[in-house]
Amino acid sequence: MASHIVGYPRMGPKRELKFALESFWDGKSSAEDLEKVATDLRASIWKQMSEAGIKYIPSNTFSYYDQVLDTTAMLGAVPDRYSWTGGEIGHSTYFSMARGNATVPAMEMTKWFDTNYHFIVPELSPATKFSYASHKAVSEYKEAKALGVDTVPVLVGPVSYLLLSKAAKGVEKSFSLLSLLDSILPIYKEVVAELKAAGASWIQFDEPTLVKDLAAHELAAFSSAYAELESALSGLNVLIETYFADVPAESYKTLTSLSGVTAYGFDLVRGTKTVELIKSTGIPSGKYLFAGVVDGRNIWADNLAASLSTLQSLESVVGKDKLVVSTSCSLMHTAVDLVNETKLDSEIKSWLAFAAQKVVEVNALGKALAGQKDEAYFAANAAAQASRRSSPRVNNEEVQKAAAALKGSDHRRATPVSARLDAQQKKLNLPVLPTTTIGSFPQTMDLRRVRREYKAKKISEEDYVSAIKEEISKVVKIQEELDIDVLVHGEPERNDMVEYFGEQLSGFAFTANGWVQSYGSRCVKPPIIYGDVSRPNPMTVFWSKMAQSMTPRPMKGMLTGPVTILNWSFVRNDQPRFETCYQIALAIKKEVEDLEAGGIQVIQIDEAALREGLPLRKSEHAFYLDWAVHSFRITNCGVQDTTQIHTHMCYSNFNDIIHSIINMDADVITIENSRSDEKLLSVFREGVTYGAGIGPGVYDIHSPRIPSTEEIADRVNKMLAVLDTNILWVNPDCGLKTRKYTEVKPALTNMVAAAKLIRTQLASTK
């Protein structure tokens, strides 16, 4: 029985690619050095999968930034501002699109479906000229073949590429991105021809937009695209891969009718209804079913017995020789290898499987289907499943009762937001267009070393507290010198906004090397929620009170909200996600109340990932938004009117959930805006009324580029065209931890100068 992996983590088991990228960007290493690291990592990945017995091994899933940007490069769809003159796209143009440069901003970045992975959004127009400008897919196939590994080259499918794109600035609203299909298909044909000439026998097109609610004309685009590609694909086995949700019945019908397609890949973990659809509708005769039964988005060991049962039930539909065992999606969304976790609790470790272990699980299931079941391996898996179900450390009756008692109240603050803002202004006395930052300040090498040494017990707690206090004092002084109105302490004690809280909450476990790519070189290490969640002790009160004692200006208490902690963790899969979220909300509520009691007047509860968790199907939106927004309100429903509650959201499309954002009932929301061409502002132009404080980001912190005072002032004026002066805040898009002080200080200087400039202009017009 054959086995398949949709995709694999790129960063390496110890983030080798991250460090190579950052060294290259900083000018400390050459392009050749970067390529050497990448080549070694790819070789290691292909070898690992080959030795594990995987038949269908992917290539072209490795990327320096993301697979959509790679496709933009392949198609030569470079926006004019990057002054690309044709030919093969090199590092300079590629990374300028991703990160911006000294003269032009980066392209928009947004979340990849409902994951914490990001992609660079293509900017297209009727004038976009396409050309075959990156031969990466072919070169990586040849690279693997030279190592003796015959791979399945993976391309982002042409229709999904267009549906994930956006119209460039200034393009008529009537412009349809799908009208460009005929312009990009010739390049896909060129790529396919080169892959065939190189010896490829399979090709995988990722068309994940098929799981979304698509209109009839969008479904028709799939039919016409693959009909047009059919002759070019002749002689190749063609796999169309979907993931992250159920495929709707109409989309399933379209998919299984596509011309020239040999195989269909489905996520049967998040797409449980698809199993029944396959059974009731069937698969066209002679076609392959790539059954994604091993979860590519979580770290729990697969329930092999249950997966085997599902696979056996599908055998009668497609035939034994046409069923391929696969992962539900790319394994890039999970950690790399459990073997690197030498300090993880042995019981919890027995419940887990990272990417390397999932490859083994896929192969074991394939062998079992073929009558070569490894009884010892399956028995050990069954024992681990039973251990997890019965472990006393998973369940906490007191926490479960407290969460159950939440039913029956919407946990909304009693006073309307307009009255609260008046009470808060009397206490805080802030100027018009108050300035603030989102939370973190640059994480220097010295700061990382201090945390690392304290964790390794190489320095005392006293020395650690002294070092962090010194860093907080530095950050406070910088903000005071810049004349920022509402300060932050810079979060020097935190490596990660979720990991920090998870370390202090019960029910969480942590890895040493469980890194997952978020975008580019940015990696996160999601905590593992294995049991019921509670807060044994205060988590941030000590540092927040210390910071507030250093300044007369308001100091924000900085917390991560329950929905973001949930969405940025590996979450237990033995109870509904909303139940876990309510438990986290109760823990954060205790922290909010302790901060208020400690004299903190402004408390920010970040919900950066609330939009990210929105289900891909509209029919599921209302239920998710109801419990997600409710969870946020639980955290702060008990504070006084004079305590100002902020929240923050970043890098997603918020326009479709703006009413749920209003329903969160925060006093102030800071929200990403600059990198998405101020798309957020359009919602207010279209008549949505927002009465709370709002700070749409005035500059992009994910780019090293420093915006001028005039540029920021222009952005603020655009905001004032649709938002009232008395509710507008001025702030960056996101936290500053990934930037350097040489970038942060001038950018914030210009931001404050822009706010003061417009205050003066507003005062003169009164």
Q: Which residues lie closer than 8 Å to 553 by C-beta, 6 or more apart?
A: 479, 480, 484, 485, 486, 487
* Separation of alpha carbons 439 and 674, rounded Å: 18
CA dihedral 30, 34, 39, 45 (to 10 degrees): 170
Residue 1 and residue 371 in contact, taking contact as beta carbons nearer than 8 Å: no
Residue 627 and residue 581 in contact, taking contact as beta carbons nearer than 8 Å: yes
SS3 percent helix, strand, coil of the chain, rounded to 5, is: 45, 15, 40
Strands 109-111, 118-120: parallel, antiparallel or unpaired by DSSP?
Answer: antiparallel
Q: Is 554 helix (H, G, I), strand (E, B) or coil?
A: coil
Residue 125 and residue 175 in contact, taking contact as beta carbons nearer than 8 Å: yes
* Separation of alpha carbons 178 and 159, rounded Å: 7
* Separation of alpha carbons 739 and 287, rounded Å: 50
Which DSSP state fits 669? E
CA dihedral 544, 550, 552, 558 (to 10 degrees): -20
Residue 697 and residue 731 in contact, taking contact as beta carbons nearer than 8 Å: yes
Rg of the chain, C-alpha, whole Å: 26
Q: Is 489 a catalytic residue?
A: no
Residue written as tokens 């590609």? 229
Burial 500-536 (b: 16+ CB within 10 A, else e): bbbbebbbbbbbebbbbbbbbbebbbbbbbbbbbbbe
* Separation of alpha carbons 71 and 73, rounded Å: 5
Which of the residues 118, 333, 646, 702 is marked catalytic? Answer: 702
Between 16-25 and 31-51, two packed helices, what is the crossing angle to 10 degrees?
A: 170
Residue 198 and residue 150 in contact, taking contact as beta carbons nearer than 8 Å: no
As a whole number of angstroms, the longest Cα–Cα distance in the chain is 83
- Here the tokens at position 44 are 């290691």
Which DSSP state fits 725? G
Phi, psi (degrees; rounded to nearest 5) at 191: -65, -45
Q: Which residues lie closer than 8 Å to 228 by C-beta, 6 or more apart?
A: 182, 185
CA dihedral 565, 571, 572, 576 (to 10 degrees): 80
Q: Which residues lie closer than 8 Å to 93 by C-beta, 6 or more apart?
A: 73, 78, 82, 84
Cα–Cα nearest to 554, from 476, 451, 453, 667: 476
Please, is 469 exposed, middle or buried when counting C-beta atoms within 10 Å of its C-beta (0-12, 13-18, 19+)?
Answer: middle
Q: Is 267 helix (H, G, I), strand (E, B) or coil?
A: strand
Residue written as tokens 């790529």? 191
Cα–Cα nearest to 676, from 97, 108, 98: 108
According to DSSP, the residues that pair with 104 across neighbouring strands are: none
- Here the tokens at position 597 are 């009691």
Residue 204 and residue 155 in contact, taking contact as beta carbons nearer than 8 Å: yes
Phi, psi (degrees; rounded to nearest 5) at 707: -75, 150
DSSP-derived secondary structure for 438-463: -SB----HHHHHHHHHHHTTSS-HHH
Residues placed in the known binding site for L-methionine: 438-440, 491, 606
Full strand arrangement of the beta sheet holding 556-560: 556-560, 602-606, 644-649, 668-671, 693-696
Q: Is 709 helix (H, G, I), strand (E, B) or coil?
A: helix
Phi, psi (degrees; rounded to nearest 5) at 380: -65, -40
Q: Is 670 helix (H, G, I), strand (E, B) or coil?
A: strand
Active-site amino acid positions: 702
